[in-house]
Amino acid sequence: MLIKKILCPVDFSEFSIRAYRHALSLAEHYDADLVAMHVVELWKYPYADYAASSGDYANFRQALDKGGKEKLREFVKKYSHEKIKPELAICEGRAPDSILAFAKEQKVDGIVMGTHGRRGFDRLMLGSATDRVIREASCPVIVVCKPTREAMAHEHHVHHLHRVLLCTDFSENAERALEYAISVTEEYDAELTLLHVVEDVQSSVRQEQAMAKAAKQLDTLIPAEKRKTLKVQTAVRTGKPYQRIIEYAEEASPDLIAMGARGAGALDRAIFGSTTYRVIQLGPCPVLAVHV
């Protein structure tokens, strides 16, 4: 996995700060270019309609763009350090559209975004922008909800990934996530754990059979030549997938969780939301979401 350019959307919230610091750390480790991006969403400003009707729309847009760029410059100056000089990008439009278009046009290798972990109306709480970017981005997306343990202790650091957790349902998306998990594990000389959750089965016999089958499948996921150099372990749990993933992550304390994500489609929101969304919201560390 080559990481030459990283995109970090910024909306100036505390969640953006967490994501930006994470993006800085990745850029420094991979010696990659970092782009800090802010999207000016005119529709959020009540004055926009009045400006349009009064013929002052051009000046209104120019003022917002100028203000956004200045605010972004101040943000980067405050939270960056001398080793990384990020590029600044100001776009106008709806946030998810602008982020996706920029990532594709600039051939970005990874996007780092912040989001909060509140409960309640899950999709609204996670945010429509994060939702769409995860499902439609042409590259992997790291979603930072809670800061890592090291990040909480030090404002500036290149945090080392000691443990990576790959959650798999053996789908094509999970296979793609595994590729990235292996790459990250090799890059940081970390430990890799492969986790599969068998959903509750009424019969205890069938449950044991399902767990045994899953354990065998996990053992075959890592190529033999990779097993010689990687530090790999496997785990099988039973129950509600997102609950067991979060419980395991709380116990094992990974620095990154890698998961497959469904792409854009009619049923994807319901399917995607049930596991990946809740792990992002409630899990203890950043989540790397990958889809085919």
Distance of CA 15 to the CA centre of its chain: 12
Of the three residues 120, 140, 158, the one that is the final residue of a domain is 158
CA nearest neighbour of 104 among 73, 70, 139, 77: 139
How many other CB atoms are found less than 10 A from the CB of residue 271?
12
Indicate the number of domains in the chain: 2
How would DSSP label each residue in 86-111?
PEEEEEES-HHHHHHHHHHHTT-SEE
Tell me the three state secondary structure of residue 247. Answer: helix
> Does the pLDDT of residue 103 top 90, yes or no?
yes
Predicted confidence at residue 84, as pLDDT, reads 85
Write the CA distances from 33 to 82, 111, 196, 226, integer angstroms.
14, 12, 35, 29
Same domain? For 120 and 193 the reply is no
Same domain, 40 and 183: no
Q: Clarify whether residues 193 and 231 are in a common domain.
A: yes
Domain boundary among 115, 134, 158: 158
Q: Which helix (H) or strand (E) holds 198?
A: strand 191-198
Q: Both tokens of residue 6? A: 């990283």
pLDDT exceeds cutoff 70 at 44? no
When pLDDT is averaged across residues 93-122 and rounded to a whole number, the result is 83
Clarify whether residues 238 and 274 are in a common domain: yes
Inter-residue contact 146 to 117 (CB < 8 Å):
yes
Contact yes or no for 218/168 (Cβ under 8 A): yes
Same domain? 65 vs 174: no
pLDDT of 34 = 97
Residues 168 and 148 in one domain: no
Asked if 41 and 132 sit in the same domain, the reply is yes
- Say how far apart CA 116 and CA 135 lie, in whole Å: 18
Q: How far apart are CA 20 and CA 2, in angstroms?
A: 20
Q: Once rounded to an integer, what is the mean pLDDT over residues 236-258? A: 95
Are 270 and 170 within one domain? Answer: yes
How far is the C-alpha of 174 from the C-alpha of 250, rounded, in Å? 21
Average pLDDT, the chain: 83
Contact 31, 123 (CB under 8 A): no
Q: Do 220 and 133 share a structural domain?
A: no
Tell me the residue type at 82: E
Phi, psi of 9 (to 5 degrees): -65, 140
For the question of whether the overall pTM of this predicted structure is more than 0.75, the answer is yes
Indicate if the pLDDT at residue 156 is higher than 80. no
Percent of the chain residues past pLDDT 90, beyond the cut? 54
Do residue 150 and residue 172 come from a single domain?
Answer: no
Token pair for residue 121?
């109306």
What CATH number is given to the structural domain containing 236?
3.40.50.620
Residue type, 6: I
pLDDT tier for residue 276 given thresholds of 50, 70 and 90: confident
Structural domain that includes position 165: 160-292
Distance in angstroms (rounded) separating the CA atoms of residues 123 and 239: 23
End residue of a domain, out of 100, 135, 158: 158
- Looking at the structure, tell me whether residues 152 and 165 fall in a common domain: no
pLDDT score of 257 more than 90: yes
Q: Give the per-residue pLDDT at 155.
A: 53
Q: Quick check: helix, strand or coil at residue 17?
A: helix
Does residue 168 share a domain with residue 78?
no
Q: Which of 170, 99, 180, 87 has its CA nearest to residue 133? A: 99
48 pLDDT more than 90 = no
